[in-house]
Amino acid sequence: MNKLIEAALAAREQAHAPFSHFKVGAALEDENGRIFSGCNVENATYGLTICAERVAVFKAISEGARKFVAIAVAADADELTPPCGACRQILWEFCGDVEVTLVNLRGKTETFGLKDIFPRPFDASFL
Q: Which domain does 112 fall in, by range?
A: 3-126
Q: How many domains does one find in the chain?
A: 1
Q: Please say if 53 is a catalytic residue.
A: yes
68-75 and 99-103 as β-strands: parallel, antiparallel, unpaired?
Answer: parallel
How far CA 82 is from CA of 45, 52, 76, 97, 102, in Å, comes to: 23, 11, 12, 15, 7
Beta-strand ranges (E) seen in 1-127 are 24-30, 35-39, 68-75, 99-103, 109-113
What pLDDT score does 80 carry? 97
Which of 6, 31, 42, 53 is catalytic? The answer is 53
How confident is the prediction along the chain (127 residues), in pLDDT tens digits per residue? Answer: 699 999 999 999 999 999 999 999 999 999 999 999 999 999 999 999 999 999 999 999 999 999 999 999 999 999 999 999 999 999 999 999 999 999 999 999 999 999 999 999 999 999 9
Nearest by Cα to 74 from 1, 7, 123:
7
CATH number at residue 16: 3.40.140.10
Three-class secondary structure of residue 81 per DSSP? coil
